[in-house]
Amino acid sequence: MNTLNRRKFLGLAGAAGLAAVTPSSLPAMTETGHETKSEDFTFLFITDTHLQPELNAAVGCDMAFKKAREIKSDFAIQGGDHVFDSLGVTKERASSLFDLYGKTEQDLGLKLHHTIGNHDCFGVYPASGASTADPLYGKKMFEERFGKTYYSFDHKGVHFVVLDSIGITDDRAYEGRVDAEQLAWLAGDLKTLPAGAPVIVSVHIPLVTAFDSYVPAPATPPKHHGMSVTNSSEVIALFEGHNVLGVLQGHTHINERVVWHGVPYITSGAVSGNWWHGTRMGTPEGFTVVEVKGGKLSTRYETYGFRSVDPQNT
Ligand SMILES: [Fe+2]
């Protein structure tokens, strides 16, 4: 029962002179309108589509979305990097990529919640020729297409939080960061939840990952912290005391699961695999199916049979 129906039920009960008791068949709910017990349901976490006209990417994405729509699920979350790439290209190219993405997304036929990725930020690299004064610069093009870059919503008793993990730096690059304004918003958002309310988080750049342990250290350390969120400890601290069922992450294009303080940080492989060049460090092209059952979260990875025209198999 959704909030509206539940209120209607309680209102009717009151009007009929009945005690407004909570029937055991209804999920427990607090005055803030949040439920403390979730129903069972399935949703999809589809990330890193990296849509572009080259490398058969649109064909691959179309295949992935068509496979995804065969899976019975309530909705999907796009985990970021919708297009490849809008950081370093002209406004015309970036717009055409988002147009292509929008067209391809129709194949999914599901309600989709969007998470911003680094490659979704327009004109950040000076090589793009874009001016920082351009009305669509940075995150504005994404916002114009998809709405807010961080927000929350509720579904069947679960509180979903979608975070913006992209920090645009003064020297026109990006790093993994959740800024102070968003941290304050997140603290306030989580504060409205009753004890034990289930929470699921979506974020593009991982809050927690052991990715750096799988590859040799670079000869020169990167200028910016881009593989994970540099201030993740500030975000994780806000999760303490909440019933976070899982954090879904993208960006590295590999399947990985790290558990910290009982919270699984689940990174999903990419629809684009190794940026449309085949398998990425053992993770093929695919997406993640997420099941919420009995108040617990479980995931499985689905591939969809794409064959790269230019495999590198790294
Ligand atoms: Fe990506």
d(CA 89, CA 128): 4
Name the residue with tokens 């997140």.
Answer: 186
Topology given in CATH for the domain delimited by 41-303: Purple Acid Phosphatase; chain A, domain 2 (3.60.21)
Query: CB of 269 within 8 A of CB of 299?
Result: no
What's the CA-to-centroid distance between 8 and ligand 1, angstroms?
44
**Residue 312 — very low, low, confident or very high, per pLDDT cuts 50/70/90?**
confident
The arithmetic mean of pLDDT across residues 148-165, rounded, is 98
| Residues in Cβ contact with 258 at an 8 Å cutoff, skipping those fewer than 6 apart | 208, 209, 210, 264, 265
**pLDDT the model gives residue 129:** 97
At residue 9, does pLDDT exceed 90? no
Q: pLDDT tens digit string along 44-65?
A: 999 999 999 999 999 999 999 9
Q: pLDDT tens digit string along 194-220?
A: 999 999 999 999 999 999 999 999 999
Q: Which two tokens stand for residue 292?
A: 């919420």
Domain extent listing, the chain: 41-303
**pLDDT the model gives residue 314:** 54
What's the CA-to-centroid distance between 239 and ligand 1, angstroms?
25
What's the CA-to-centroid distance between 70 and ligand 1, angstroms?
24
Q: pTM (2 decimals)?
A: 0.89
Q: pLDDT tens digit string along 112-130?
A: 999 999 999 999 999 999 9
What's the CA-to-centroid distance between 216 and ligand 1, angstroms?
20
At residue 1, does pLDDT exceed 90? no
Among 3-7, 12-16, 28-32, 291-295, which range has the highest average pLDDT?
291-295
- DSSP class of residue 10? H
Cis before 85 (ω within 30)? yes
What's the CA-to-centroid distance between 302 and ligand 1, angstroms?
18
Cite the beta strand spans of the chain per DSSP E.
41-46, 76-78, 112-114, 151-155, 158-162, 166-168, 174-176, 198-203, 243-249, 256-260, 263-267, 286-293, 296-303
d(CA 49, CA 212): 23
